[in-house]
Amino acid sequence: MRFKPEIQNLPPYKPAKLITGPTADLVKLSSNENPLGPSPKALAALQTAISQAHRYPDSASVALRQALAAHAELALDNVICGNGSDELVLLICLAFLGAGDEAVMADGTFISYKLRTLELGARPVRVPLRDYAHDLAAMAAAITPRTRVVFICNPNNPTGTANGTAEVEAFLARVPDDVLVVLDEAYVEFATRPDYPDLLPAIRAGCPNLLLLRTFAKIYGLAGLRLGYAYGAPALITYLDQARPTFNVNLLAQVAGVAAITDGEHVARSRAHADASRVFFLAQLRALGLAPIPSETNFVAVAVGDDDAVSDGLRARGFTVTPLAGWGLPGLIRISFGTVAQNAGFIAALQAVLNG
């Protein structure tokens, strides 16, 4: 048996410190989940659907794709669904990358783009962030004839920054037609800057090489069900669909997704909670003498000195966060917003850790 070096040599997966068993009382502020839980409408739909668990799901996720299309004023053939948007990142890489190809991405962004690119034997071209945000001019300049895909995470995980419309449109205008641009909008529903780009009109207009990647794992509170989706031109969606495992989206995820996407109340409540949490965290972290990066998401990144030591100290006091040295951002930690009580408890714990 021969292992493929592209897979064998990947950096080992560092699990996001699972919370089970004796550590179950830890407050998990490390995965950007929704502390308010799933949409009540999704929970109700799941209760009904569970009795159908002996059935295979609809392999084409038609009802869900219809709901997602309606949500964005698009057509069914503009939508593909995945087992989390993470699976869609893999599908994109499978469908577009091979040995000798390049994928351009930021250095300091969601880690899957790099891992899946390496796995396919292609080369990740990593462009440093500027002021913790994507440097889109430098990313455009990094495109070569070998570039097949550009990944842009907007808003960016883990820094929480977002690029505005003018910058994104100038970037798109510089990208050759034969290069796919993936805009990962996992946190789109949290973005607050008034000039946050709305790229749905470009999809409606048939832009052939743009894919908007989204997820039910963040504002919709369904991370455990694994459900993501993407909007793109019909030819691109059909092509990606060829690479998709037949039953990639399970029956419960499909049913919950339809209910969640139409639950505007839950989304509004979750967004309001994130807005209030952001104000709280920025003020409290500044009061501790820290300089948090202004966030457009449901988390905040902040420099704390030794990110690993501070994360370990926080864990000992009951809170998990994400140290960012492994993401190319040494000294920073990423804190997901929790409930009001968890947020207050966290600040007290951080103060104790920083005071030694």
Ligand X SMILES: Cc1ncc(COP(=O)(O)O)c(C=O)c1O
Tell me: does residue 111 bind ligand X (CB under 6 A).
no
Give the whole-angstrom CA distance, residue 347 versus residue 345: 6
Place of tokens 């003018």: 166
Part of the chain binding ligand X (CB under 6 A), chosen from 81-89, 122-130, 134-142, 240-248: 81-89
Tell me: does residue 85 bind ligand X (CB under 6 A).
yes
Three-class SS of residue 335?
strand
Task: Classify residue 296 as exposed, middle or buried by CB count within 10 Å of its CB (0-12, 13-18, 19+).
Answer: buried
Here's the x/- map for ligand X, 177-196, by CB under 6 A: it reads as: -------x-x----------
Binding to ligand X (CB under 6 A) within 313-342 occurs at none
Tell me: does residue 110 bind ligand X (CB under 6 A).
yes
Tell me: does residue 295 bind ligand X (CB under 6 A).
no
**Is the separation of the CB atoms in 187 and 297 below 8 Å?**
yes
Tell the smallest beta-carbon distance from residue 110 to ligand X (Å): 4
161, 163, 215, 298: which one contacts ligand X (CB under 6 A)? 215
Tell the smallest beta-carbon distance from residue 276 to ligand X (Å): 21
Give the whole-angstrom CA distance, residue 212 versus residue 226: 18
Part of the chain binding ligand X (CB under 6 A), chosen from 79-87, 120-128, 191-199, 322-330: 79-87
Degrees, nearest 5: CA angle 123-147-178: 150
Give the whole-angstrom CA distance, residue 220 versus residue 216: 5
Give the whole-angstrom CA distance, residue 262 versus residue 239: 28
Give the whole-angstrom CA distance, residue 265 versus residue 292: 30
Tell the smallest beta-carbon distance from residue 24 to ligand X (Å): 22
115, 153, 202, 258: which one contacts ligand X (CB under 6 A)? 153
* 179 versus 186: smaller Cβ distance to ligand X: 186
Tell me: does residue 33 bind ligand X (CB under 6 A).
no
Tell the smallest beta-carbon distance from residue 85 to ligand X (Å): 4
Binding to ligand X (CB under 6 A) within 38-77 occurs at none
Which residue type, as a one-letter code, is found at position 55? R
Three-class SS of residue 280?
helix
- How many residues at the interface with ligand X, by CB under 6 A? 13
**Is the separation of the CB atoms in 105 and 95 below 8 Å?**
no
Part of the chain binding ligand X (CB under 6 A), chosen from 83-91, 199-207, 268-276, 300-308: 83-91
Tell the smallest beta-carbon distance from residue 156 to ligand X (Å): 8
32, 117, 248, 343: which one contacts ligand X (CB under 6 A)? 32
Give the whole-angstrom CA distance, residue 177 versus residue 85: 24
Neighbours of 239 (CB within 10 A): 15
**Is the separation of the CB atoms in 341 and 318 below 8 Å?**
no
34, 61, 117, 157: which one contacts ligand X (CB under 6 A)? 157
Give the whole-angstrom CA distance, residue 77 versus residue 231: 9
Here's the x/- map for ligand X, 227-246, by CB under 6 A: it reads as: -x------------------
60, 76, 223, 282: which one contacts ligand X (CB under 6 A)? 223
Three-class SS of residue 232?
coil
Part of the chain binding ligand X (CB under 6 A), chosen from 18-26, 215-223, 233-241, 267-275: 215-223
